[in-house]
Structure 1
């Protein structure tokens, strides 16, 4: 019996296109195939693997758990194959796009100042930077690297620590002139405590007074979706905010913000990590180049 040749990399490429483009028709256009041919290819792939990869409906396709796992491995293998081909012709220089998801605070205060050095060191790499404080699904958002603050949940993600920073309560001189400076936890009751518009690991401000630590809720009249938003509100004199120290040091040095209640600081620090999909498997050189650069130049303190 003749042996049936299977183009596994071709199947993976079509499957990844279906997932990332959201359907058989756009994937067919991108791969220069017919939608029927793409549908049959996915059906053959599922039959060979003995697992359903996609749940199909009239409106959308949805990855099954097996499909998620296969997509993760397929994208990594295709990236490795692309890297191998480029290495053979380009002296192993990292090439390609890296999609980065990070908070606006980290992007503005840590990442932006060092980006020229990274781009100069790796001229073949392009970056697509998305700024949000919301925790995203790396697979669903097609994110290569996410930079996140706070404790990490157990998952299939791999993390590289980028340091940690103190958290400081600050206010603009104009606000303190208008509303007075608080000196105790009780004093905070009459102040506009600016907070985040989403749940956080510690939903409030830990403060130590008279040997006890209390969590003071940030229940002011204004909330924001990210730390940079809160910083600008504080700079405008809207209220008091608790922010990462690296984001407000220059403002404090310039007198634009003033530390408040430093004597009640509970000593909490917030860790930052660069995270990516995969447990110890090989990384595309473009992603590895960014992670190595951040470990050296993108640390917070």
Structure 2
């Protein structure tokens, strides 16, 4: 006798258990008892005649069959939700949306404006994960990732959100101690707060200057926001993308050096997402909103 196919609602529970890291955590988010969620996963295992999760006192772990189902389940649930979106017509977008983005982008672009987005779309439940490294969207359980610069070839869908220009800055109190440089070559006598990665950010190329200038490091930091704080506190010069530093320039917390003279290509800002998420209205309105913030 043929087995009944799993229901989308049961697959959504399975996804939630994996994304939240356990039955108790998923139960709190879904408003359901952990035992109810456990029975749902057991029902899936019986329907499919496989073991999906290994349960232990340390938590849960996906089996190979569970990982295969997770990928298929995410596709099925997303498509089901996309069809529901179409059927809903003019109803406001709703449902969960998980974002993965670099720390500075979240702090300086998303967070300052998120209250307005939430007021417009109160039924979209955003989860924001912050990391500066490239992540696998499936492993990170993310619907969309925001990334900077050139991207490796992949099967992910892409949407260009905009570009960021570069600014070279220093705090006023730092320039009072060192003197303001009159030409790019003078930067070699200053100190730079350097990025641990990517190191090319530390190399300053100027128009009509043949070689890049790399001032010596006063300190090196692995996080862009840490570099910014060190510059604000007078530790040296550094270059930043405009969305990170323009507010500081406007408020006089830093001074831009040699504006318009950097010869460095702008930074592309791109949204990456899986095919399964492409039909979700909540993703579409979120990306539309992000694009407006770049202008």
TM tier relative to shorter chain? 0.7 to 0.9
**Which residues in structure 2 correspond to 1:1-301 (within 5 Å)?**
2-7=1-6, 9=8, 12-13=11-12, 15-17=14-16, 19-22=18-21, 30=34, 32=36, 38=41, 41-42=44-45, 45=48, 61-62=61-62, 64=64, 70-82=69-81, 84-85=83-84, 91-183=90-182, 187-197=186-196, 199-200=197-198, 202-208=200-206, 211-214=209-212, 216=214, 219-226=217-224, 228-262=225-259, 265-278=262-275, 282-295=278-291, 297-299=292-294
- Aligned partners of 2:214, 2:35: CA distance in 1, in Å? 56
Once the two structures are superposed, what CA deviation does each residue of 1:167-200 show, in whole Å capped at 9, x if it has no partner? 1110011101112334556544443211223x32
- Aligned partners of 1:224, 1:244: CA distance in 2, in Å? 16
**Count of aligned positions:** 289
- In 1, are the aligned partners of 2:167 and 2:259 still within 8 Å (CA)? yes
- In 2, are the aligned partners of 1:104 and 1:133 still within 8 Å (CA)? yes
- Aligned partners of 1:245, 1:134: CA distance in 2, in Å? 20
Q: Does the C-alpha gap of structure 1 residues 282 and 101 become closer, same or farther in structure 2, counting only changes over 3 Å?
A: closer
Q: CA deviation at 1:263?
A: 7.0
Q: Does the C-alpha gap of structure 1 residues 174 and 17 become closer, same or farther in structure 2, counting only changes over 3 Å?
A: closer
Q: Does the C-alpha gap of structure 1 residues 262 and 293 become closer, same or farther in structure 2, counting only changes over 3 Å?
A: closer
Q: TM-score, normalised by structure 2?
A: 0.76
Q: CA deviation at 1:276?
A: 1.8
- Aligned partners of 1:34, 1:248: CA distance in 2, in Å? 48
Q: CA deviation at 1:141?
A: 2.6
- Aligned partners of 1:184, 1:46: CA distance in 2, in Å? 72
- In 1, are the aligned partners of 2:185 and 2:213 still within 8 Å (CA)? no
Q: Does the C-alpha gap of structure 1 residues 234 and 216 become closer, same or farther in structure 2, counting only changes over 3 Å?
A: same
Moved more, 52-61 or 109-118: 52-61
Q: CA deviation at 1:270?
A: 0.7
Structure 1 SS opposite 2:165: strand
Structure 1 SS opposite 2:206: strand
Runs (5+) with no aligned partner, structure 2: 28-32
Q: Does the C-alpha gap of structure 1 residues 19 and 208 become closer, same or farther in structure 2, counting only changes over 3 Å?
A: same
Runs (5+) with no aligned partner, structure 1: none
- In 2, are the aligned partners of 1:100 and 1:130 still within 8 Å (CA)? yes
- Aligned partners of 2:250, 2:207: CA distance in 1, in Å? 27
- Aligned partners of 1:154, 1:67: CA distance in 2, in Å? 27
- In 2, are the aligned partners of 1:87 and 1:93 still within 8 Å (CA)? no
Q: Does the C-alpha gap of structure 1 residues 192 and 69 become closer, same or farther in structure 2, counting only changes over 3 Å?
A: farther
Q: Does the C-alpha gap of structure 1 residues 244 and 111 become closer, same or farther in structure 2, counting only changes over 3 Å?
A: same
Q: TM-score, normalised by structure 1?
A: 0.75
- Aligned partners of 1:68, 1:218: CA distance in 2, in Å? 48
Partner of 2:30: none
